[in-house]
């Protein structure tokens, strides 16, 4: 049933784009820089089909990866599938709205994007804490997968930092124009701290 619903969501996303097709410009903004200004464009047909096809790709990728995994892993990956579906649908609608300034007042895409990113990071962070050793979810560095203790410590820290990064995404909305300038360095710092901490825990 999950597959059928996810495919239905992809079709709904595609339908929204098709309904707006005649009002949209021939070229649509599809990427925004750290300053919040569009710096990447696609022909509108490609832009409107990107999210539905990406959703279907992620659906089958996560479904394939979750096969033969313990129940808790399959359940967590189902939750991630739903979160990714909602995230892509939201971004798809934002992109359409941004391309229709006559109907929707031109807005800061980054400021509208960050809350969805925050929810996604909080969800992934929460699911990463306490997840058992597995080959498809969590921080899967080879040297920590040999030890239950190291795995638990690293993924707990990673999950907590992901939740913190999600909260930062919401907080950064209060600083117009600075959202991604805060988010990207924080994300890089998260990766660096996780990597270094994995070595520290492994050596103990």
pTM (two decimals): 0.86
55 vs 70, 145, 203, CA distance in Å? 24, 30, 40
Q: In the listed set 100, 125, 147, which residue is the last one of a domain according to the structure? A: 100
Answer yes or no: do 35 and 80 share one domain: yes
Answer yes or no: do 77 and 147 share one domain: no
Answer yes or no: do 21 and 93 share one domain: yes
**67/101 Cα distance (integer angstroms):** 44
Answer yes or no: do 138 and 161 share one domain: yes
Among 86-90, 156-160, 173-177, the minimum mean pLDDT is found in: 173-177
- Count up the domains in the chain and report the number: 2
Taking only the tens place, the pLDDT of each residue in 74-126 is: 888 888 888 988 899 999 999 999 998 877 777 778 888 888 999 999 999 99
- The Cβ-side half-sphere exposure at 2, using a 13 Å CA radius, reads 13
Q: How is residue 195 written in tokens?
A: 């990597």
Answer yes or no: do 112 and 204 share one domain: yes
**131/157 Cα distance (integer angstroms):** 12
**154/190 Cα distance (integer angstroms):** 12
Q: Evaluate if residue 7 carries a pLDDT over 70.
A: yes
pLDDT-based confidence at residue 5 (cuts at 50, 70, 90):
confident
Please provide the size of the chain in residues.
204
3-state helix, strand, coil in the chain (%, to 5): 70, 5, 25
Q: Which domain holds residue 10?
A: 1-100
Q: In the listed set 81, 100, 119, which residue is the last one of a domain according to the structure? A: 100
Q: In the listed set 77, 100, 123, which residue is the last one of a domain according to the structure? A: 100
Answer yes or no: do 11 and 76 share one domain: yes
Token pair 């901490």: residue: 197
User: In terms of Cα–Cα distance, which of 28, 96, 84, 18 is closest to 56?
Assistant: 84
pLDDT-based confidence at residue 2 (cuts at 50, 70, 90):
low
Q: How is residue 193 written in tokens?
A: 């701290």
């Amino acid at each position: 049933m999950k597959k059928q619903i996810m495919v239905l969501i992809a079709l709904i996303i595609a339908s929204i784009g098709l309904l707006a097709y005649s009002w949209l410009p021939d070229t649509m903004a599809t990427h925004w820089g750290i300053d919040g200004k569009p710096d990447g464009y696609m022909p509108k047909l490609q832009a409107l089909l990107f999210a539905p096809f990406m959703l279907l790709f992620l659906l089958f990728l996560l479904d394939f990866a979750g096969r033969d995994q313990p129940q808790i892993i399959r359940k967590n990956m189902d939750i991630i599938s739903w979160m990714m579906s909602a995230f892509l649908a939201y971004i798809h609608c934002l992109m359409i709205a941004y391309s229709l300034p006559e109907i929707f007042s031109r807005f800061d895409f980054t400021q509208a994007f960050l809350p969805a990113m925050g929810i996604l990071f909080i969800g992934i962070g929460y699911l990463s804490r306490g997840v058992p050793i597995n080959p498809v979810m969590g921080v899967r560095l080879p040297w920590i997968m040999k030890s239950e203790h190291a795995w638990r410590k690293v993924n707990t820290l990673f999950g907590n930092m992901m939740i913190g990064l999600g909260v930062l995404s919401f907080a950064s909305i209060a600083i117009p124009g600075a959202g991604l300038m805060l988010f990207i360095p924080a994300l890089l710092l998260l990766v660096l701290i996780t990597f270094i901490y994995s070595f520290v825990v492994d050596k103990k």
